[in-house]
Amino acid sequence: MSFVVIDPEVEGLGVMLADLVRGNIEADPTRARLLHGLAGTVNVHAHDAEVDVALEFRGGQMLVHAKPYPKADLDITTDAETLMGMSTTPLRMGMPDVTKAEGRAVVGKMFRGELKVRGMTTRSKLLRRLQQLLSVG
Amino acid sequence: MALFPSEAWLKEYVDKINSSKEYEEAAATWEGDLCYVFEAEPDKGVPNDVRAWVDLWHGKCRGYKYDLPAEEGDASKFIIRAPYSRWKQVINKELDPIKGMMQGKLKLKGDLPTIVRYVKAANELVNIAGNVQTEFVDDQS
């Protein structure tokens, strides 16, 4: 079974997120465990690049869809550079590590509204797992 | 002024990579070759796909090849491909490469986690390309 399934019409950002998760699991197969028991939907928007992608977690897989959900469990909106930078942000328990400058920078962007994550309190497990799956740190 | 795409342009680009302190620092531990594919746009003076290969190693470029065969170029560790006019936008700094990849305008083949880890070095490679004095083949008088 493939851990990542991409809809045929997906390109750009969706392919990149899929490649990141796939590459991370290939490099460290234990990361596949992060998909186990994970269920939920995520919209990702890179507003300056004007691209959106939808992720769905179910059955131990991440499914990548081109069209965002009308109401996803998590909704992440930021610029392309911040989105890319989130993958290199050091994590602590799946969240940005505020003891490190890069982690504080991400949290600062959230306070300034440059990074908006709707659903982060109600679906914190989903957010933590997503960050761990995408992290290259 | 070097014509893009051409071997002279690639040589100028490689010389600038090898004299860049910023790139040397950002790519100090990078190991892997990279093939740029400038896809054909016959109406713009690029009748065939052109592959430009650079052997990047620990912050330097230790070799390059211009217009190498597809089978050789496609064996590179990383491949970035786009139509000629997209590359022109990148070199002119009209298209940010990260946004371009997210929009599907530039296509990357290779281990993305590695590229993301070295995103600063990748950005520096783009900045260097923008610093080459370039004349584009479709702008020639």
The per-residue pLDDT for range A87-108, each reduced to its tens digit, is 999 999 889 999 999 999 999 9
pTM: 0.90
- Strand pairing class (B78-83; B31-39): parallel
Q: What is the mean pLDDT of residues B69-94?
A: 96
Chain-centroid distance of CA B29 in Å reads: 19
Q: Which residues are paired to B33 by β-bridges?
A: B55
ipTM confidence score: 0.89
Mark yes or no for CB contact A12/B96 under 8 Å. Answer: no
Mark yes or no for CB contact B96/A15 under 8 Å. Answer: no
Q: What are phi and psi of A117, to 5 degrees?
A: -125, 100
Assign A137 a pLDDT band (cuts: 50, 70, 90).
confident
DSSP string, B8-41: HHHHHHHHHHHT-HHHHHHTTT-EEEEEEEEE-B
Residue B71: CB atoms within 10 A of its CB come to 7
With CA atoms as reference, report the closest residue to B22 among B57, B59, B70: B59
* Residues in chain B, overall count: 141
The per-residue pLDDT for range A35-72, each reduced to its tens digit, is 999 999 999 999 999 999 999 999 999 999 999 999 99
Angle B85-B96-B81 from CA coordinates, rounded to 5°: 50
Taking CA atoms, what residue in B is nearest to A17? B112
Where are chain A's structural domains? Answer: 4-134
Give the pLDDT of residue B141.
64
Assign B134 a pLDDT band (cuts: 50, 70, 90).
very high
User: What's the rounded Cα separation, in Å, for the pair A105 and A91?
Assistant: 12
Instruction: Note whether B120 and B69 are within 8 A (CB).
Output: no
Assign B3 a pLDDT band (cuts: 50, 70, 90).
very high
Taking CA atoms, what residue in B is nearest to A85? B116
Token pair listed for B54: 């650079």
Query: Helices B84-91 and B119-131 meet at what angle, rounded to 10?
Result: 90
State the residue for tokens 């070095």. B121
Radius of gyration of chain A (CA): 14
Flag whether pLDDT at B36 surpasses 90. Answer: yes
- Measure Cα distances from B80 to A52, A80, A91, B107 in Å: 22, 18, 29, 6
The CATH number for A4-134, chosen from 3.40.190.10, 3.30.70.2190, 3.40.50.720, 3.30.1050.10, is 3.30.1050.10
Partners of residue B114 in chain A, C-beta under 8 Å:
23, 136
Of A15, A20, A46, the CB nearest to B116: A20
User: What's the rounded Cα separation, in Å, for the pair B38 and B8?
Assistant: 15
Q: Which CATH architecture has domain B2-139?
A: 2-Layer Sandwich (3.30)
Where are chain B's structural domains? Answer: 2-139
The per-residue pLDDT for range A105-133, each reduced to its tens digit, is 999 999 999 999 999 999 999 999 999 99
- Measure Cα distances from A110 to A93, A103, A118 in Å: 18, 11, 11
